[in-house]
Amino acid sequence: MLPSPLLTALRSARHLVVFTGAGVSAESGIPTFRDALSGLWQRFDPATLATPQAFRRDPALVWGWYEWRRMKVLQAQPNPAHRAIAELARHVAEFTLITQNVDDLHERAGSQDVIHLHGSLQQPRCFACARSPAAPLAPADEPEDGRRLEPPRCTHCGGRLRPGVVWFGENLPAAALNAAFDAARRCDLLISVGTSGVVYPAAEVPRLALDAGAMVLHVNPQAVAQPGEREFVLRGPAGAELPELLRQAFGA
Ligand code: BJW
Ligand code: ZN
């Protein structure tokens, strides 16, 4: 049985925020970044792949790597954690979903108005003029990790397209960040799912909620937070923990 203050907080929440990281998509087969054995940053160097300098230096290396990841997402399906989050929205008056993920698995599980703090793999833009192509990207031709691919050209200025994600050293989209911070400050319960909480400014989101008086629940197999008076931890995979939380709180 889950802690009763947590179930009470969930049943009585007027504004629930769910904040997700790579761990929510792990059970869909999308690798996280920092997990000890399977994390992307164990095999790939972020400095050569996830910065504007890296793209300037070797655009084909970076584009090829992101096409490989985009294909993995296209082939993946939402898991029970994505579906439980979409279902949670139906039980509260106000619901905000904030994700650091660049996949679209929340949307495919039925969540709406998802705030993407770190952009999307599906929405490239021009590295030179920042405009987005009119047509969506076609599926890439069997990309593999490590295979170089020349980025397509911008139809407006001829510049190279870049992945529509937020790289290290880049600002987050201002509207998304403001909406996320605003929701965190106004909510009464925030559930943080599958994030190591080390990348800023996104990592400030749960802290802002706590500081504003909300309860915060962390769902993660690893010990990412210490339980406290208003802070709860469910140690386990989101695909098991979130459906169980939903069941115990709402019988859903
Ligand atoms: C499960 C599970 C299961 C597993 N169920 N859970 C010092 C030096 C240089 C820079 C900085 C610095 N200090 C701060 C900075 C700034 C930097 C930063 O924070 N760096 C830190 C790493 C130190 N931040 C930025 O640069 C940001 N911009 C910025 O600050 O602009 C101002 C500025 C301007 C100029 C100079 C400096 C600053 C931008 C950050 C962009 C982050 N981008 C990435 C890549 C996106 C594109 C891509 O996908 O390739 O975003 S990095 C990567 O980390 C990705 C993620 O969204 C983000 C967060 O990771 P997340 O989601 O938490 O994943 P993991 O892998 O870390 O954790 C997974 C968790 O899941 C684990 O806890 C598991 O246990 C758990 N899990 N299975 C539930 N089944
Ligand atoms: Zn352009």
Q: In the annotation, is 118 catalytic?
A: yes
Q: Nearest C-alpha to atom 4 of ligand 1 is from which residue? A: 23
The answer on 41 and 12 residing in a single domain is no
Cβ of residue 79 lying under 6 Å from some atom of ligand 1: no
Domain of 41, CATH number, reads: 3.30.1600.10
* 141 pLDDT above the threshold of 80: no
Summary mean pLDDT of the chain: 95
47: which residues sit within 8 A by CB, 6+ positions away? 53, 54, 168
Is residue 1 over pLDDT 90?
A: no
pLDDT band at 134 (very low <50, low <70, confident <90, very high): confident
CATH of the domain at 212: 3.40.50.1220
Q: What is the mean pLDDT of residues 188-202?
A: 98
Contact 214/38 with Cβ under 8 angstroms?
A: no
Q: How far apart are the first and last CA of the chain?
A: 15
| Catalytically annotated residue among 82, 106, 118, 218 | 118
- Do 27 and 242 meet the contact criterion of CB atoms below 8 Å apart? no
- Where do we find the tokens 């904030």? 98
Q: What is the pTM of this model?
A: 0.97
pLDDT, tens digit (0-9, with 9 covering 90-100), for 27-70: 999 999 999 889 999 999 999 999 999 999 999 999 999 999 99
Do 7 and 57 reside in the same domain of the chain? no
Domain housing 179: 1-29+78-122+171-252
Compute the distance between CA of residue 14 and CA of residue 39 in angstroms, rounded to an integer: 36
